[in-house]
Amino acid sequence: MMMIARTRTWIAAAHLSDEVIERALLFAALSAVSTLALITLFILREGLPVIFDRGPLEFLGSVKWAPSRGQFGLLPMIAGTAVVTAGALVVGLPLGLAGAITLAELAPRRARQFLKPMIELLAGIPSVVYGFIGMEILVPFIREGGALGGPGYSALAASIILGIMVLPTIIGISIDALEAVPRSYRDGSRALGATQWQTITGVVLPAAKNGIVAAVILGMGRAVGETMAVIMVAGNAVQFPDSILAPVRTLTANIALEMSYASGAHAQALFATGIVLFIVSLTLNGIAGRVRGAKKVKAPRNAAAA
């Protein structure tokens, strides 16, 4: 009798602790979601008035950013962000894809075990260190050593630094995508007499296409959102970028540089810059998620028989 009562008490206690843990987890999840929702609401509340005041077209399409005169045209910063992001992909995509192919397909297991953590370590380097190295080495090289001319602080410098910074993202996600391709695809291709490279380009890369595209888009997101390294090497001049060697200012840099002294409509315009950035980031992440989750093309069942 005593035994049964004790067991019942134990079961009741277990149920209670399950319920407590379940509620705590639900509370934690809701807290995270509601914090994000509150941040979004706050940014929208602060930024939307200035967009509607000036009109979205003027705000996004004007090239004049002069807060002291009440002019808030974001186009130079949008163009600067686009140029720097595109440049980062030009630098980072070939290197990243090549790195992923090497590590997933070509490297022996020992080399992979050694190289993959090293490349992942790149993601752990603080962005201010990248910016510091850009200022110390890259900017003087562009200004003097490379005979390219210009002030050195430029879209080119920012693109190269960002190109290096997006490498771990592109390599990491691409490796996952390449490793997810079934071994049988490779075996089938090799059995038909294709070389390893033909197998990679003709079979593995097309099968991993979705994951690789997602990697590139997430790399783009990383480049768009980067602030510190870009501020340190991009020059931050508010001007429409007419050359890759010209100084540019990105959306993130615009917020970081001016928020400390902004007030009134100026501060609202910076929040509106945040809204633009927020939309760009959400869109890129949404596209990456969709592409990554898209149904993969399956090999026909009778492929082996054919």
Partner 1 sequence: MTMPQLLSPKATQRVATTLMWAATAATVGVLLFIVGFVLTRGASTLS
- Across 82-113, b (16+ Cβ under 10 Å) vs e yields bbbbebbbebbbeebbebbbebbbebeeeebe
Considering only 167, 213, 218, 220, the residue that binds partner 1 (CB under 8 A) is 167
Residue among 4, 57, 118, 147 that touches partner 1 (CB under 8 A): 118
* Closest to 88 in 3D by CA, of 150, 154, 157, 149: 157
Rule CB under 8 A: choose which of 198, 283, 293, 304 binds partner 1.
Answer: 198
- Classify burial at 23, counting beta carbons within 10 Å of its beta carbon; exposed 0-12, middle 13-18, buried 19 or more: exposed
Which residue's structure tokens are 């979601």? 33
Convert residues 132-151 into a mask of x (bound to partner 1 by CB under 8 A) and - (unbound).
xx--xx--------------
Binding residue (CB under 8 A) for partner 1 from 16, 20, 29, 125: 125
Based on the shown chain and the rule CB under 8 A, indicate whether residue 82 belongs to the binding site for partner 1.
no
**Residue 235, phi-psi category: left (phi > 0), alpha (psi -120 to 50), beta (remainder):** left
The CB-of-97 to partner 1 minimum distance in angstroms stands at 8
Toward partner 1, which CB reaches closer, 32 or 137?
Answer: 137
Scanning the chain, the segments in alpha helix (DSSP H) are: 2-54, 56-61, 75-101, 109-124, 127-133, 139-140, 155-165, 167-179, 183-191, 196-199, 205-207, 209-225, 228-233, 251-258, 265-293
Q: Which stretch binds partner 1 (CB under 8 A): 82-90, 112-120, 206-214, 222-230?
A: 112-120
DSSP state of 236: -
Q: Nearest distance from residue 155's CB to partner 1, in Å?
A: 20
Q: Cβ closer to partner 1: 31 or 196?
A: 196
Compute the least distance from the CB of residue 275 to partner 1, in Å: 34
Exactly one of 53, 60, 62, 102 binds partner 1 (CB under 8 A); which one?
102
Residues 45, 218, 87, 201, Cα dihedral to 10°:
-160
- Classify burial at 193, counting beta carbons within 10 Å of its beta carbon; exposed 0-12, middle 13-18, buried 19 or more: exposed
Question: How many residues make contact with partner 1 (CB under 8 A)?
Answer: 30
Select the residue interacting with partner 1 from 121, 191, 282, 304 (CB under 8 A): 121
> Which stretch, 46-54, 196-204, 282-290, 291-299, contacts partner 1 (CB under 8 A)?
196-204
Give whichever of 83 and 103 is closer to partner 1, judged by the CB atom: 103
Contact set with partner 1 (CB under 8 A): 94-96, 98-99, 101-103, 106-107, 115, 118-119, 121-122, 125, 129-130, 132-133, 136-137, 164, 167, 171, 194-198
